[in-house]
A and B are shown apart, each in its own frame.
Chain A
Amino acid sequence: MATILSTPKEKTTSVISPSKKVTLRVAKYNPKTDPKKKWVNYQIPYEKWTTVLDVLLEAKNHLDHSIGIRYSCRQASCGSCGMIINGKPRLACFTKITELDTTMVTVEPMKNFPIIRDLVVGFDRLFKTHKRIKPYIISEDSEITTKTTELLQTPKEVNNYIQFANCIKCGLCNSACPTMATDSLFIGPQALAQAYRYVADTRDKGKDDRLKIIDESHGIWRCHFAGSCSQVCPKGVDPAMGIQLLRGYLLGFRS
């Protein structure tokens, strides 16, 4: 049920400009204290550059201080603000109201992550799977001595992995993937794409290690190339591609 505007008991001094307004519909839920999720609506003015994060913070700052939300950089580089906006996983700071093309904005916490509170979800599993695939250069000469310089790498070689290195660990892909929707042990597109990122790096020698880790019953084979991960990724990582390329190694099509 929608309750309207829970305004804190404070004097308010800010003037809300009389421009267009959007109805922000937030799924509020604190699993420790609330019996179930409830929807709360807020009316917020917006401009053509206003993002969903902006309206959420406007609501938090002026209408309801208790909205639970994670955010930091507001420029789509930290990966904090992933949530389900009008049904799809997106970054709040990277989604403008105007591009949603509606005056009703519904926000929910990301799916396939445990809810901590309201829009804030727990990332423990993502961090663990990320660590599991050994996301670092594996090589004897990864520590420098006084006179070492760089290992050469041509721009072309950099381009072989740079797209995967763009991952901001926002978790949107894991939220969209159909396997993640039921499989609690699946490594997930985020970590698998990172496994490919390091395998594709000319400086790395850990390919066999990583292939072994992902080749298990809840590993890479639980991806069925549904592609949703790539469709929601805000940074062009294209995990679906990374996963299939990685699988190419396991099937013997690449070496």
Chain B
Amino acid sequence: MEKVDENKEGIKGMVNPRRYGIERVAYLLMRLSGLGLLAYFVAHIYETSNILRGRVGWEEVISITQTTEGHVILAIVIGMCVFHTANGIRVMLGESGIGVGKPIRPDYPYPSPSQNARHKIAIYSSIILAALAMMYGLAVMFGE
């Protein structure tokens, strides 16, 4: 079979969040935060494994994280974690068919019930919550 170029938009299209609504932004943030958390998770497992090297080893590693960069990264992780969790709960509800509206006879101009205010509010709340958590985290870390 001849291979046809499908003119797929590729990662660029997947990533471009501007053309569509906030739901598409949430989709993108969910992916990025998931990947970010995975990266942190792996690093975290490595980090904690240093405890096996005794007090010296542990404090060596901890001291690397107790820097400004370390704190900023940790703050981002907190943000990602909060957003991913909050939005994750929204997505799980939605994907179970909860809160996506009921089928109706659509009337022009055809609003889409699944793209409803509840979800939009949940997305904005997740983002705000994540931002607050980040600020709180920064305050705690730099405060001491």
Contacts and interface: CB of A to CB of B under 8 A. Distances in A.
Contacts of A248: 96-98
A105 to B, nearest CB: 16
A238 B9 CA distance: 22
A182 B91 contact: no
Contact of A112 (B8, B20, B27): B8
B7 interface: yes
A160 B13 CA distance: 33
Interface in B89-109: 91, 94-98, 100-101, 103-108
Interface string A141-179: 000000000000000000111111010000000001011
B24 A112 contact: no
Please classify the interface of chain A as helix (H, G, I), strand (E, B), loop, or mixed, using the class held by over half of its residues.
Answer: loop
Contacts of A179: 14
Contact of B7 (A111, A178, A246): A111
Contacts of A112: 6-9, 13
A234 B7 CA distance: 22
Interface stretch (A54-62, A202-210, A219-227): A219-227
B139 to A, nearest CB: 33
Contacts of B14: 178-179, 181-182
A179 B95 CA distance: 16
Interface in B104-137: 104-108, 110-115
B13 to A, nearest CB: 4
A201 to B, nearest CB: 11
A240 interface: yes
B19 A115 contact: no
- The CB with the most chain A CB atoms within 10 A, among B8, B20, B91, is that of B20
B6 A241 contact: no
Contacts of B95: 225, 244, 247, 251
Contacts of B107: 236
Contacts, number: 148
A179 B24 CA distance: 11
A94 B68 CA distance: 54
B140 interface: no
B143 interface: no
Contacts of A159: 103-105
25 contacts: A31-B5, A113-B7, A159-B104, A162-B103, A163-B106, A181-B11, A182-B10, A225-B23, A225-B91, A226-B27, A227-B112, A228-B23, A231-B115, A238-B106, A238-B113, A241-B112, A241-B113, A244-B96, A247-B95, A248-B98, A251-B96, A251-B97, A253-B97, A253-B98, A254-B97
Given A225-B95, A238-B106, 16 more contacts: A87-B19, A88-B19, A159-B104, A163-B104, A163-B105, A184-B8, A225-B91, A225-B94, A228-B20, A232-B20, A236-B108, A240-B115, A241-B103, A244-B95, A245-B100, A247-B95
Interface of A: 31, 87-88, 109, 111-115, 121-122, 125, 159-164, 166, 176, 178-182, 184, 200, 224-228, 230-238, 240-242, 244-248, 251, 253-254
